[in-house]
Amino acid sequence: MIKIENLHIQLGGFDLHDINLHVAENDFFMLMGPSGAGKTILLEAIAGLVPVKSGRIKVAGQDITRLPPEKRGISIVYQDYALFPHLTVANNIRYGLRFQKIEKNERDQRLHQLLASLNLQHLANRSPETLSGGEQQRVAMARALIVKPRVLLLDEPLSALDPSLREEFRLLLKQLQQQTMATILMVTHDFAEALALGHRGAIINSGKIEQSGRMEELFQRPQSTMVANFVGMKNLFAVTISGEDAWVENLQIQLGHSRGDGQGFIAIRPEDIVLSTGQLQSSMRNCFQGRIKQVISQGFYYEVHVNVDTISFCALVTKGALLEMELGEGEDVYLFFKSTAIHTF
């Protein structure tokens, strides 16, 4: 559906280069990366709102690189919603219709359908300034969808919402995606959010795509330290591999299979590390004794940092387990993980 080939954008302080992406029809594609990576600029380039230095953007086989934004059929929803302050909610939503050849019946029908499905009927005559963040967001979505765009671009739609509204909006997004069958490209800096919503995605960092593919693949098989860090692989170590073992300094970690000798990285998700106050009868190959350096509350669970020699591991523990095992800073503890939980790259 969307095909981006060798795109190069230079604008202000941003320099995006060698951007290659493929987004399939009806996909929910996640564009991820830290703040300032150039995600929004890339969205704007796809919408035709910023000039492109070289490369091509194709939608459904058609080269749109030089097409003005109004001829692309691509809607964009910004993080700050960008509602027109001088128009009512209904007129905001209706805005794009006048530029299309659509019959009046059809227009009214689309408007009412969107007002209903986004629960906005009671707000139709209000001014956008009087709406809450969640309401403004729904208006922005309706305004973007009413023209039935080929592609819908979402710029961090959840980041400006209260956490309680986020879950609700996530559901709504999924629902809308299924209803409209639009191809959605969404920008986010939150990997958990991306994982919950997207099918496929790409991680962008300092102007280039680090990795793209299915979400599970990005999550489980990061190909660089940047991606590993970004997807929340907290235990990331530079290692020397020999045979079936990886050495982090003087610590021997069993990989369970040989992978070719040499330098590399291993990563273990913190939720894959099990803590215990005593030795366990377990099939887990890797077992180390260490001392708890720090316990950090993360709300529903705790992040426990354990030092094994000079190497620091991070494990996630529920509050209940933490209390039961009486884990505290300075305590000795055993940590275990399966060799299959180790990701090497």
Partner 1 sequence: MRHKDFFFWGTFACAVTVIAFITLPLVQMLAAPSLEVLVETILDKDVLNSIVLSLSAAALAALISFILGTPLAYLLARREFRGKRLVEGIIDLPIIIPHPVVGIAILSVTGRNHWFGQLLTDLGIRIMGSVTGIVTVMVFVAIPFYIKAAKEGFDAISPRLENVSRSLGASMFSTFFRITFPLAWRSMLAGIIMACARAISEFGAIVIVAYHPMIAPVMIYERFESYGLKYSQPVAVWLISICLILFLLLRILTSRQKKSA
Please give the residue ranges that form the binding site for partner 1 (CB under 8 A).
Answer: 12, 44, 47-49, 68-70, 72, 74-76, 78, 80, 82, 84-86, 95-96, 99-100, 143-144, 147
Grouping H, G, I as helix, E, B as strand and the rest as coil, residue 174 is helix
Dihedral angle of Cα 170, 171, 173, 177, to the nearest 10 degrees: 140
Least spacing, CB of residue 185 vs partner 1, in Å: 13
Task: Count CB neighbours of 328 within 10 A.
Answer: 11
Question: What are the structure tokens assigned to 54, written together?
Answer: 């070289």
Beta-bridged to residue 113, according to DSSP, are: none
Question: What are the structure tokens assigned to 31, written together?
Answer: 């564009």
What phi and psi values does residue 89 have, to the nearest 5 degrees?
-55, -50
Question: Which of 126, 293 has the CB closer to partner 1?
Answer: 126
Least spacing, CB of residue 36 vs partner 1, in Å: 18
Question: Which of 39, 143 has the CB closer to partner 1?
Answer: 143
Residues 6+ apart with CB under 8 A from 48: 64, 67, 68, 69, 72, 74
Least spacing, CB of residue 168 vs partner 1, in Å: 23
Least spacing, CB of residue 58 vs partner 1, in Å: 18
- Is residue 236 within 8 Å of residue 267, measured between CB atoms? yes
Least spacing, CB of residue 47 vs partner 1, in Å: 5
Question: What are the structure tokens assigned to 345, written together?
Answer: 């790259």
Dihedral angle of Cα 82, 86, 92, 97, to the nearest 10 degrees: -110
Question: Which of 47, 342 has the CB closer to partner 1?
Answer: 47
Question: Which of 144, 267 has the CB closer to partner 1?
Answer: 144
Question: Which of 34, 69 has the CB closer to partner 1?
Answer: 69
